[in-house]
Amino acid sequence: MSLSLVITAGEPAGIGPDVVLKLAVNWQAAQDNLAWSGVAVDQLRLAVIADPDMLARRAKQLGLDVTFVPVDAGAELPMMQARQLAVIPVPMVEKEQLGLLNVANASYVLETLKLACDGCLSQRWQGMVTAPVHKGIINDAGVAFSGHTEFLQERTGSEQVVMMLATAGLRVALVTTHLPLREVADAITGERVKQISRILYRSLQQDFAVTQPRVLVCGLNPHAGEDGHLGREEIDIIIPALQELADEGINLTGPLPADTLFAQHHLQHADAALAMYHDQGLPVLKHAGFGKAANITLGMPIVRTSVDHGTALDLAGTGLANEGSLWTALGYAALMAQARQAIG
């Protein structure tokens, strides 16, 4: 059975179009790059949602020989071929300038996301992969936007979603995401810890075929609170939440000090780590696999993965952008979509 996946090309002034084009040029190596996912390349139908004229301009700037094939959003996607890119067209408002953000094109970026999301919700496509967008320019255009994760949560009507980054040998999920550090402790409630943990645990079962997930949970404070001497969040919030989850059959280990949880002797026996906030877990993940990691949204009725990097405006059109993270995001999307197909 084939899988139909779509890629959104992201901010047109950044490197999203560059890495998408490099993926197409290097597609002959797809089987090697995706072998770890267990998904055969000849199962994949793939298209990019973007302005085809913008992609053509970028290909010329990069000196890449790519043939663009227009595809209607309602049509069956073609099998991917090297140096050929199926494009579901969405027109830009104004022509892009490399490295220069333009508020006029914020609506274009959002339209590509809406089209991808809605196509997945209707089950026309089995998953979406997103290239990076620039949050600031979308907000400058008058649209409240805190990131792909929150946008897609609202679009899909999901009560709660979880951000997880994954690379070879390590998966890190977050209890809180894009919050100022001074707001993190107040945002960590027993109910939130339980909601996030349930979603993570069930996604490991549903999307990654882990029958009995083993999850390590970070404490919030140094030394996981040092028995209350360095903060009481572990005693008052996290431990009671984990005990309630254990009563539901969801057995998690923790809270553990974050500075030792990520040691190899712990991780080798774990399927995922749950960090309390963004910069507690993601620096470790990105140190382990930057450029070969993917951002994955759990808890939605659709499959969505993304690259682990930003728009890198200074690299747009230079040919220096690396498409490794896009390969990884594509592999995880295919893996998760296949797992969901298997269980119906």
Which pLDDT does position 232 carry in this prediction?
A: 96
Same domain, 149 and 238: no
Question: pLDDT-derived band of residue 294, with 50, 70 and 90 as boundaries?
Answer: very high
Same domain, 60 and 146: yes
Which pLDDT does position 35 carry in this prediction?
A: 92
What does the pLDDT look like over 211-269, one tens digit per residue? 999 999 999 999 999 999 999 999 999 999 999 999 999 989 999 999 999 999 999 99
Instruction: Evaluate if pTM is beyond 0.85.
Output: yes
Same domain, 82 and 140: yes
Same domain, 144 and 46: yes
Is the predicted pLDDT of residue 344 greater than 80, yes or no?
no
Q: Average pLDDT, whole number, for the chain?
A: 95
Which pLDDT does position 229 carry in this prediction?
A: 96
Compute the CA torsion angle 239, 240, 245, 249 (nearest 10 deg). Answer: 80
Q: Tokens 């382990």, residue?
A: 288
Are the CB atoms for 325 and 292 separated by under 8 Å? yes
Which pLDDT does position 296 carry in this prediction?
A: 97
Total tally of structural domains belonging to the chain:
2
Same domain, 259 and 340: no
String of DSSP letters for 287-331 = HHHTTS-EEEEESSSS-EEEESS---GGGTTTS----HHHHHHHH
Are the CB atoms for 132 and 148 separated by under 8 Å? no
Which pLDDT does position 290 carry in this prediction?
A: 86
Any idea which of 126-130, 143-147, 179-183, 242-246 has the lowest mean pLDDT?
Answer: 143-147
Question: pLDDT-derived band of residue 144, with 50, 70 and 90 as boundaries?
Answer: confident
Question: pLDDT-derived band of residue 145, with 50, 70 and 90 as boundaries?
Answer: confident
Domain enclosing residue 321, as ranges: 1-158+303-344
Which pLDDT does position 147 carry in this prediction?
A: 85
Same domain, 52 and 79: yes
Same domain, 216 and 329: no
Is the predicted pLDDT of residue 123 greater than 90, yes or no?
yes
CA distance 247 to 336: 28
Same domain, 180 and 291: yes
CATH number, position 252:
3.40.718.10
Question: pLDDT-derived band of residue 291, with 50, 70 and 90 as boundaries?
Answer: confident
Same domain, 139 and 13: yes
Which pLDDT does position 246 carry in this prediction?
A: 97
CA distance 287 to 224: 22
Is the predicted pLDDT of residue 342 greater than 90, yes or no?
no
Average pLDDT in the 314-331 region? 96
Same domain, 154 and 31: yes
Same domain, 148 and 180: no
Which pLDDT does position 146 carry in this prediction?
A: 82
Same domain, 165 and 133: no
Is the predicted pLDDT of residue 118 greater than 90, yes or no?
yes
What does the pLDDT look like over 150-199, one tens digit per residue? 899 999 999 999 999 999 999 999 999 989 999 999 999 999 999 999 99
CA distance 120 to 206: 17
